[in-house]
Amino acid sequence: MSLDVWLQQVWYERARAPWWLRICSPVYGAVVRLRAWLYARGWLQSVRVAVPVIVVGNVTVGGTGKTPFVIWLAGRLRTLGLPVAVVTRGYGRSSTGRVTTDILRVDDSCRADEVGDEALLIRRRSGCPVYVSRDRVAAAQAAIADGARVVIADDGLQHLRLARTVEIALVDGQRGLGNGALLPAGPLREDAARLGTVAAVVLTGSGPGAGPSASIPAGALRMGLAGELLQAVNGVAIDRTLRSFAGQRVHAVAGIGNPGRFFAALRAAGLDVVPHRFPDHHRYARWDLQFDEDLPVIMTEKDAVKCQAFAPAHCWCLPVSAAFAAADERVLLRRILMDARLLDILACPLCKGPLQLADDSSGKVLVCRADRLAFPVRDGIPVMLEEEARQLESTDPLLER
């Protein structure tokens, strides 16, 4: 059994880690708290950049559905007309071992081993500029120089050097915080109490699992993952529905933080799954996808961006998107927009000019003086659509300063 698999069992399945692992956790915890204290006292300097920074991260090691969330958030802010960029460390690229402050601008032609599988996926799915660097402050500054007005920092909860406006923490809805212990005896990268300090806690992929542990704040929001259409990894065949594989035996391949979640989703859709687990950010080779039984192969999107060059014809990937209940989405967006003061930096979708937040008889509106339009703000969330905006008479009091 590999160390990785054994640790997962200790963290998520056993009640107690062995004593020699437990004695290391207080040391780790002391280092984490000391670092936070040094930043709080200003002994270690955090850098504030010129635009709002939204940090998306987690308090545990491993996958929590962060990538679909970042893609969703970037897309949602873009529909509001905000030029948004994503900065990430680029896990899973071949140069991570080397200390480098290079900044990579991810474009569609990049390879996953250059920029990391998650960075490439975020770029392809969101269409937003994505910057990869170990130095997230430098990456954010590069994004701002290129015109970003909002920066999403992927996996930046513990990267305290980049000062943030809003923090969102994601927690795996099924595994929760595991045994609740700090590394290495448990999966926690910092104390569970940290969840009480962020703007929103999002429980991801929540299903009929063990349920979240008691230390998760009561107001946590729920994010589901939805995916119905399978795409051929080599890009040749046309899409197939997941349902069309129901009752069929398939090889399921996942090199993500929590492969079990992917296998469970396929089983829930009625597939007979032969699971193949790979380490997170695994670099695939042709023979990884060659199995004795010649069955269809189904993998996650994050795996697929690394297999396009050599995937056989019967190899499919299942893109998933974050999905929120309408009420949870409103709460989440409102907190982000308010806390990051994003309403102040929205631009008019027509003339790209400035907007002014004003009070109308019907509530708050965003006024474009040049176009004489008032965009409604409903439940704290602006609706930046021309057909939803109210045309103002030249004498309208909203146009007066």
Q: Out of 348, 374, 381, 389, point to the residue binding Zn ion (CB under 5 A).
A: 348
Closest CB to Zn ion among residues 70, 368: 368
Closest CB to Zn ion among residues 328, 371: 371
Smallest gap from Cβ 386 to Zn ion, in A, equals: 9
In the complex, which residue's CB is closest to Zn ion?
348
Residues 235-254 that bind Zn ion (CB under 5 A): none
Residue 334: φ, ψ to 5°: -60, -45
Closest CB to Zn ion among residues 140, 348: 348
308-347 footprint of Zn ion as x/- string (CB under 5 A)? ----------------------------------------
Residues 362-381 that bind Zn ion (CB under 5 A): 368, 370-371
Closest CB to Zn ion among residues 95, 356: 356
Count the residues of the shown chain that bind Zn ion, applying the rule CB under 5 A.
7
Closest CB to Zn ion among residues 240, 372: 372
Smallest gap from Cβ 351 to Zn ion, in A, equals: 3
The region of 52-60, 262-270, 291-299, 350-358 touching Zn ion under the rule CB under 5 A is 350-358
Residues 57-86 that bind Zn ion (CB under 5 A): none
Closest CB to Zn ion among residues 313, 370: 370
Does residue number 269 form part of the binding site for Zn ion (CB under 5 A)? Answer: no
Half-sphere exposure of 301 (CA within 13 A, CB side): 23
Smallest gap from Cβ 154 to Zn ion, in A, equals: 32
Q: Out of 24, 36, 350, 399, point to the residue binding Zn ion (CB under 5 A).
A: 350
Residues 301 and 320 sit within 8 Å (Cβ to Cβ): yes
Which residues lie near Zn ion (CB under 5 A)? 348, 350-351, 353, 368, 370-371
